[in-house]
Amino acid sequence: MVLNTLMLHSEQAKDRQIAAELLKQGKLVAVPTETVYGLAADARNKSAVNNIFVAKGRPSDHPLIVHMHAASAMHDWAQDIPAEAFALAQAFWPGPLTLLLKKADHVDTVVTGGLDTIGLRVPSHPVLLNLLVTHQLAVAAPSANPYKQLSPTSARQVMETMAGKLDAVLDGGDCQFGLESTIVSLVNGAVQVLRAGPVSVAQLEAVLKQKVQCPLQHQVKVSGNVAAHYQPKTRLRCVSAGELDELLKDTTQLLAVLSFSDLSANTEPHWHCSMPTNAQDFGRVLYKQLYLADQSGAELIVLEMPPLDDQWAAVQNRLMRAAYQED
């Protein structure tokens, strides 16, 4: 079924009200968060949540994050909550951190992809947070993109890639972080980062006063954990500055280049973006620039690899999956 997708403007009270009403009626609304746009449905409405999987083309065994109005609502969704959860919630909520906890018995497994754990976070984007607080809502929301594609960081990008599949997009401006939340599992007594994100391992360790593991590959079902993910449609290659130079000199292909080194004189790729040299700023614009590169008509996207240190962990994690090739 093709829906008529409304564009709603969060500066207008009337539009915010429409977004809330649609959610309460069990409809799908893309909402702004501080990380990326989310494809939201009332988390307590089973059929609405089920429609998220249909709209995204996402397998129903991939769990969703529930976005709550306050940390106190953890008790509505989880049980056996360890002390670390309260400490992390106090330090980082509202904000870009998702906690995995044992789900409460009454929570339907449609949200959790059949698992007995649940992902929870309190988002800090003022538009979404106000909506949740005012209407006492909790929304299940994955990133608002077709399965495995780039996460959207603007309302326009959601509209361009998802129109017809949801009821409305609530425009709350460009996302502040541009990369998905850090996911920390607190299940079975261990603290483990399952997806690197805006909250770093060092920040988590400072609050918990203990070492936190951050395995690059793990078996837990986090959709960002499949090898090919966050992918532009055009093939992406990550290269060193030297390799980039060679490619620019030798290739006959139309290249879209994302680099932070200056390009050598006399090289003019088909499309070029100078990326920020600071990890946070790089993360904020990465998906947007990959999306634009994808639309430029280039035959190959080439990205100059950022450094490998800890600050760049979230970016490196996305790039590895965005550039992954089956063969």
The residues of the shown chain that bind Mg ion, judged by CB under 5 A, are 143
Q: What amino acid occupies position 234?
A: T
| Closest separation in Å from C-beta 292 to ligand TXA | 21
| Closest separation in Å from C-beta 31 to ligand TXA | 8
Q: Between residue 125 and residue 144, which ones bind ligand TXA under the rule CB under 6 A?
A: 141-143
Phi and psi, residue 284, nearest 5°: -65, -40
| Closest separation in Å from C-beta 269 to ligand TXA | 31
Angle separating helix axes 279-295 and 313-322, nearest 10 degrees: 20
Strands (E), the chain: 6-9, 29-31, 38-42, 65-67, 78-79, 97-103, 117-121, 139-140, 168-171, 182-185, 192-195, 236-239, 255-259, 271-274, 300-304
Dist CA 244 CA 257 (whole Å): 9
CB atoms under 10 Å from CB of 20, counted, come to 18
Q: What is the DSSP string of 109-143?
A: TTTTTT-SEEEEE----HHHHHHHHHHT--EE--B
* Closer residue to Mg ion (CB): 119 or 306: 119
In angstroms, the Cα distances linking 169 to 3, 97, 157, 259 are: 12, 23, 10, 32
Q: Give yes or no for residue 193 binding ligand TXA (CB under 6 A).
A: no
Q: Three-state DSSP class for 98?
A: strand
Q: Give yes or no for residue 163 binding ligand TXA (CB under 6 A).
A: no
| Closest separation in Å from C-beta 101 to ligand TXA | 8
| Closest separation in Å from C-beta 326 to ligand TXA | 20
Q: Give yes or no for residue 118 binding ligand TXA (CB under 6 A).
A: yes
Residue 82 touches which of ligand TXA, Mg ion, none (Cβ within 5-8 Å per kind) = none
State which of residues 20, 23, 38, 165 lies at the interface with ligand TXA (CB under 6 A): 38
DSSP conformational letter for 71: G
Dist CA 104 CA 243 (whole Å): 51
| Closest separation in Å from C-beta 197 to ligand TXA | 7
Judged by CB under 6 A, the number of residues near ligand TXA is 27
Residue 283 touches which of ligand TXA, Mg ion, none (Cβ within 5-8 Å per kind) = none
Q: Give yes or no for residue 152 binding ligand TXA (CB under 6 A).
A: no
Q: Between residue 214 and residue 253, which ones bind ligand TXA under the rule CB under 6 A?
A: 220-224
Residues in contact with ligand TXA by the rule CB under 6 A: 33, 35-36, 38, 62-65, 96, 98, 100, 112, 115, 117-119, 141-143, 180-181, 183, 220-224
